[in-house]
Chains A and B, each alone.
Chain A
Amino acid sequence: DSGVTQTPKHLITATGQRVTLRCSPRSGDLSVYWYQQSLDQGLQFLIQYYNGEERAKGNILERFSAQQFPDLHSELNLSSLELGDSALYFCASSPRRGSAEAFFGQGTRLTVV
């Protein structure tokens, strides 16, 4: 158990809908990262938050948004969903700058039908 909790584990929704994925980082970790992994693909970096502020942005679509709350949990909002958004969405956390590895949650499997 990495200590990073993602909910829900599985999500099935229809095209055009909006969903929210939730991530609780390890206790004390300030950084949260979101990654997308499509079938048989590598990890695509979406966005990073550090202590409530956006730190880095990757190839995140405009239909997607995220935020990190004062209690350090984070939510990834996906809207106007398309079939191609079906993927495994990972959240990872790390405790401080530059010196530590990322600990990954178990991911949320999103299926858009």
Chain B
Amino acid sequence: AQTVTQSQPEMSVQEAETVTLSCTYDTSESDYYLFWYKQPPSRQMILVIRQEAYKQQNATENRFSVNFQKAAKSFSLKISDSQLGDAAMYFCAYRDSNTGNQFYFGTGTSLTVIP
């Protein structure tokens, strides 16, 4: 079964600085999708960014960008110009495009933004 690993249970960043959250995954598939979800204190799950495995270009969404290393099975999230509203739990997720269509989530990284 596919696994998603987030090795940083907690991270902190100064406001306006940049922080990178790590994620690795294990799969034998070549076609899949990767996501970062944000869960603020409201507990709502919010999609931050999505990456298709067949695309070499790293996805970006405003201040959020990813570093997708397919060979290394690594998918890190970079948050630039961190804001207080970025404080949340961040989950990395994997979805296989061929079988089952199930989403696999990591255990999450709790991000604190220091004013």
A residues contacting B by CB (< 8 A) are 2, 31, 33, 37, 42-43, 45, 48, 50, 55-56, 58, 88, 90, 92, 94, 97-99, 101-104, 106-107
B107 to chain A, nearest CB (A): 4
* B33 and A90 contacting across the interface, CB-CB below 8 Å: no
Bound: A33/B98 CA distance, A: 17
The answer, yes or no, to whether B11 is at the interface (CB within 8 Å) is no
Question: Which residue of A43, A55, A58 contacts B101 across the interface (Cβ within 8 Å)?
Answer: A55
Bound: A55/B96 CA distance, A: 14
Interface of chain A, helix or strand or loop or mixed?
A: strand
Closest to A43 in B: B105
* A56 and B43 contacting across the interface, CB-CB below 8 Å: no
15 contacts between A and B (CB under 8 A): A37-B43, A42-B105, A43-B91, A45-B104, A50-B101, A56-B100, A92-B45, A94-B101, A97-B97, A97-B101, A98-B33, A98-B97, A101-B47, A101-B50, A102-B35
Question: Which residue of A58, A98, A101 contacts B96 across the interface (Cβ within 8 Å)?
Answer: A98
* B108 and A98 contacting across the interface, CB-CB below 8 Å: no
Bound: A42/B96 CA distance, A: 20
* B102 and A56 contacting across the interface, CB-CB below 8 Å: yes
When distances are taken between beta carbons in the complex, the residues of chain A under 8 Å from B43 are 37, 88, 106-107
Bound: A92/B44 CA distance, A: 11
Closest to B107 in A: A42
